[in-house]
Structures are given as C-alpha cells and as structure tokens.
Amino acid sequence: MRTGRLNRLRSHAGMTLLELLIVLAVIGSLAAISLQEFNNHRRRAVDSSMRGELRNAAMAMESYYGEYLEYPASLASILLVGYRNTASVTLTINITSPSSYTLTAARAAGTQPSFTFDSTTGLIN
C-alpha cells in the first residue's frame, strides 16, 4: 500500500529540470525575436519623423518664399512663418541657387543617419 502512494506522489511532483529548461529556451527565443522586431519598428518611426520634418520645413520654405520672394538661409527665418522644429531632429538648410535649396534632417537611431529633400525634384532621399 505504501509503494502505491509513493508512485502517485512522484507522478504529480511537478516539472522536471529538462522541461523547465525547454520552457525557458522557448521563452528566450520568443523574447529575442520580439525585441528585434520592436527595434525595427522604432527605427522606421525615427525615419518617418525625419521625413515629416522635411515635408514641414519644405512647406515653410515655400511659404517664406511667397512672402519675401527669396528662400531663407537660416532655420530662424522659417520659424517666422510657422515652422516648428522637433527637438530631436536637426535640420540644415542649404541654398543651392536663388530658385532651389536642399534640406537635410538628421536624427540618431534611424535606419540611416539623415534624409535630404531636394527642391528641384521634390523628392526625399
């Protein structure tokens, strides 16, 4: 009678060490995959913020041109026409000719360090 009780207790004793290690390995693998995906989404969000900053700055540049008939050479000038710079994005204005300019937005942690808007093509590279 005693051995029957011991066998029943042993069968309900819980998880073995091997089962526990397998569970931990599966959880670790899932965590590694999800962290990598999270970082990818975060980098794309940073890229999106730089592109959005370039679009807003380009609109402000054109608005400034509409008022003063020249493109501004400084960030302070487009602040006058309503442009608001995002604190984490660094914007650089380069006047290439009286009728064209390039804007460069830079921010750390993106898929690339910066994006550039060219007024002659209207494209963000």
| Mean pLDDT of each 10-residue bin along the chain, 125 residues long | 60 80 94 92 94 96 95 93 90 95 94 96 94
Give the span between the Cα atoms of 86 and 120, in whole angstroms.
25
pLDDT confidence of residue 87? 85
Partners of residue 100 on adjacent β-strands? 97
Interior angle at CA 96, CA 94 and CA 101, nearest 5 = 60
